[in-house]
């Protein structure tokens, strides 16, 4: 048995890359191509982070650890396909609040349902306890990177 080949199967960066690639492919098939014209994988984190209660662009950027300019670009794309709208904050006119449109809310619920179905499939493959442990580990790794300015 080639131990170097076996070791290369367990390289975290490679595994994260592969899981992301497979997840992106799943999204392309299940969500983007049939869900809403113009929607793509780069829109999903923002759409799901806006959620049903709305959020400011600054809070959204902070939540996703990206610049406000980066979120603004994707928000404009989501506005162009009628999934998101922006409104001046009632508390501070300088702040734009982002909300899902009715169409965006419907699409959000559909995406959420399909993501939960995928998570249920993952739980069948690895077991509920192992799935929860995997989520906890990913959250800890993200926190490590955030706290150590590794991003």
Question: What would the pLDDT profile of 41-61 be if each residue is shown by its tens digit?
Answer: 888 899 999 988 889 999 999
Q: Give me the pLDDT at residue 91, please.
A: 80
Beta bridge partners of 84: 100
Q: Give me the pLDDT at residue 95, please.
A: 83
Cβ atoms of 84 and 16 closer than 8 Å: no
pLDDT tens for each residue of 6-36: 667 889 889 999 998 998 888 888 775 556 7
Q: Please name the fold of domain 19-147.
A: Arc Repressor Mutant, subunit A (1.10.10)
Beta bridge partners of 139: none
Q: Where are the domains of the chain?
A: 19-147
pLDDT tens for each residue of 87-137: 887 788 788 899 999 999 999 998 888 889 999 999 999 999 999 999 999
Confidence of residue 140 (pLDDT cuts 50, 70, 90): very high
Q: At what angle do helices 128-147 and 102-126 cross, to 10 degrees?
A: 120
Confidence of residue 2 (pLDDT cuts 50, 70, 90): low
Cβ atoms of 82 and 100 closer than 8 Å: no
72-79 own/partner pairs: CB under 8 Å, 24+ apart: 74/42, 74/43, 74/46, 75/46, 77/38, 77/43, 78/43, 78/46, 78/47, 78/104
Separation between Cα atoms, residue 132 and residue 134, nearest integer Å: 5
């Amino acid at each position: 048995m080639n131990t170097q080949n076996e070791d290369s199967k367990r390289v975290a960066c490679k595994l994260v890359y592969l899981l992301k690639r497979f997840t992106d492919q799943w999204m392309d098939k299940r969500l983007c191509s049939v869900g809403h014209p113009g929607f793509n994988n780069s829109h999903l984190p923002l759409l799901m982070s806006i959620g049903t209660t709305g959020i400011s662009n600054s809070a959204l950027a902070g939540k996703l650890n990206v610049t406000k300019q980066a979120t603004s670009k994707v928000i404009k794309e989501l506005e162009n396909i009628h999934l998101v709208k922006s409104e001046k904050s009632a508390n501070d006119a300088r702040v734009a609040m982002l909300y899902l449109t009715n169409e965006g809310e419907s699409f959000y619920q559909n995406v959420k349902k399909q993501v939960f179905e995928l998570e249920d499939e993952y739980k069948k493959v690895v077991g509920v306890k192992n799935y929860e442990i995997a989520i906890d580990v990913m959250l800890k790794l993200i926190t490590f990177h955030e706290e150590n300015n590794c991003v």
